[in-house]
Copies of this chain bind each other. A is one copy, B any other.
Amino acid sequence: MTLLVTGSIGIDTIRTPFGFSQDCVGGSAVYFSLAASFFGPVGFVGVVGEDCPFDLKEVFGNRDVDLQGLEVRPGSRTFRWAGSYEGDMNEASTDGVELNVLAEAPPTVPEAFRDSEFVFLANTAPALQMQLLDQLRGPELVAADTMNHWIVTAMDDLKELIDRIDMLVLNDGEAKLLTGQRNLVTAARSILDMGPRIVIIKKGEHGSMMCNKDGDLFILPAFPTSVVIDPTGAGDSFAGAMMGHLARSRKVDVVSLREAMAYGTVVASFTIGDFSIHGLKTVDMSDIDGRFDMLRKVTQF
């Protein structure tokens, strides 16, 4: 397996100015895998409880997502998240969280996945992210996401994790909180000092930014869309398409990284165009390449 993701599978309930979606498919690993599977095969590691109302085999359909690493844990309940968006919908308000199975031991990485070259540790407790990482043998690129909650409650673990990975992916507010810096360029450089060779900061409707230890800097606006129905999963879709492109091109040089971020931006623009995973289910690679070309066209001078 070239690309591996570990992360959450969730039952989401989402309210936006455009509607309400109850108990729909969600979770970081699900959005990530759908997005990444446009570019190549994905190994999926995640855990649900015995109450999970949807079948991930059906969710992924004919996508090349290997569910060997999916654990259905008897006696446990699936992670649930309820959130809502208002105004410019750039940030979700969490209305309710039930960690459930995510508060238990992490799933096991199947033997067949342990030599994965590209790995994405989606957001969860940094101690669990490290337990997952411990199961792998010499991956080429390990990227991880995190969130405010862990910065506030598990900073020591998080710093240990950050020092062990190649790339940290986080949003602008998290980057500022993690570093105590108000300026994003300064925050990005502070994160590089913490260990990783690449940091990618997601800015929602304002796009994304990449800094690396070789001094390269890349700034990309979001794809200009007027169709924003449900931003849930945009960040995970961004990461999925980005890692998918890197795994496909089998390199992490500056050109590949920039293209990867552009693909991430484009795929996220489809995610936010409909509720839950529907925006990702109805597009194909030619739609993605069309928006990729348009993104290049609207940003060049």
Interface residues of A (CB under 8 A from B): 87-89, 182-186, 189, 203, 205-207, 209, 217-221, 224-226, 228, 255, 258-259, 261-262, 296, 298-301
Contacts and interface: CB of A to CB of B under 8 A. Distances in A.
A184 B228 CA distance: 11
Stoichiometry, copies per complex: 2
Contacts of A259: 301
B218 A298 contact: yes
Nearest to A183: B226
Contacts of A185: 224-226
Given A220-B299, A262-B301, 4 more contacts: A87-B182, A185-B224, A185-B225, A207-B221
A209 B298 CA distance: 9
B224 A221 contact: no
A189 B226 CA distance: 10
Q: Which 8 A-B pairs have the closest CB atoms?
A: A258-B301, A219-B221, A206-B206, A185-B226, A186-B226, A217-B298, A183-B226, A185-B224
A182 B229 CA distance: 12
Contacts of A186: 226
Nearest to A210: B298
Nearest to A185: B226
A280 to B, nearest CB: 21
A301 B225 contact: no
Contacts of A221: 207, 209, 219-221
14 contacts: A87-B182, A88-B183, A183-B228, A206-B206, A206-B207, A207-B221, A209-B221, A217-B224, A218-B298, A218-B301, A220-B301, A258-B300, A258-B301, A262-B301
Contact of A296 (B258, B262, B301): B301
A174 to B, nearest CB: 14
A88 B184 CA distance: 9
A299 B203 contact: no
Contacts of A298: 217-219
Contacts of A228: 183
A1 B89 CA distance: 46
A226 B183 CA distance: 6
A241 to B, nearest CB: 14
Contacts of A189: 226
A219 B89 CA distance: 20
Nearest to A216: B298
A178 to B, nearest CB: 15
A262 to B, nearest CB: 5
A220 to B, nearest CB: 7
Contacts of A183: 88, 226, 228
A204 B218 CA distance: 18
